[in-house]
Amino acid sequence: MGPADAPCRLSHAAGRCAAGRDVAGFPLADCWRRPGGKAMQVSLLGTGLPYPNPRRRGPGYALRAGAVNFAVDCGSGVVHRMVELGLMPNEIDHLFITHLHSDHYIDLGHFIVSRWIMGDDRPWHIYGPVGVRTMVGQLLELLRPDLELRMKIRTVRRKMPDIRVHELTEGPALEIDGVKVTAFDVAHYPLDQAFGYLFETRDRRIVLSGDTSPCENLIRHAHRADILIHECVQYEKWTSPHIDRSHTPHAHTSPERLALVARDAEPGLLVTTHMLPDSEPRELGEIIRRDYAGRLVIGEDLMTF
């Protein structure tokens, strides 16, 4: 493995923002604001799992295409990461949830209340699998007493947040301002329904895997995408007590198996996410490199591509 292939090396073409400054020297908070051309861009808000991890927040991603901002998942700490990036919660127009494991939506209450406190009464659209409508409804009822108290100290009459929930099946989910979003089924045992998402513009295709074991349907949707952001879980470093380890190969993708997925999908750039606290970036990269020679970045929170 030569210097150009180092798995943890960050090139200007690959990821612009990391560790507080990007490679061109811009402050991190300017990364989202700074004009980045017409191409759609994606930022990693959180690259971790349910484990508390100061280095990696829970799963979450932000995408910008023209004047429209999207988010995919909102795990623990994602709202704070968003603000670190220079993006405010009320600037997200559409939120997509990959599946109903709590580490992928645990920050949704923070998201909703932050938008409301900032005075945003516009309808907000949330998309996800069957069950997301019930989850959002229950969350709003949980937040209602707090928001009603906050209404008493407002000088302008406010209403409860206007959340429009869209339960999806595989296929086109949204088309707006030249951006097409497609939901596709992935394999995340024991859930009956879990999605990856494909974002397409005229000049760029970005795929987010969500949580999945190796999946032909994902390979088909990600084939020759410009960017594939894919989970990467080292099974042997999963230390949760009492977990049935026999389920793991049916729910997640190891670095060894990710290499084979990427080799078949042939993305322009592979970016790893959803990594365990004990996983070392260099080790992950070396494992993937055994069977995959394409462009690779081991993802870190706040990278932008």
The per-residue DSSP string of the chain comes to --GGG-TT---TTT--EETTEETT--BGGGTTTS---SS-EEEEEE---SS--SSS-SSEEEEEETTEEEEEEE-TTHHHHHHHHT--GGG--EEE---S-GGGTTTHHHHHHHHHHTT--S-EEEEESTTHHHHHHHHHHHHHHHHHHHHTT-SS------EEEEE--SEEEEEETTEEEEEEE-B-TT-S--EEEEEE-SS-EEEE--S-BS-HHHHHHHTT-SEEEEE---GGG---TT--GGGGGGT---HHHHHHHHHHH--SEEEEES--TT--HHHHHHHHHTT--S-EEE--TT-B-
Q: What angle do CA 53, 146, 48 make, to 5 degrees?
A: 15
Q: Which two tokens stand for residue 1?
A: 């493995």
C-alpha pair distances (Å), 284 with each of 8, 195, 207, 296 = 9, 24, 20, 11
The whole-angstrom separation of Cα 211 and Cα 203 is: 26
Active site residues: 103
* Residue 24 backbone phi and psi in degrees, to 5: -90, 0
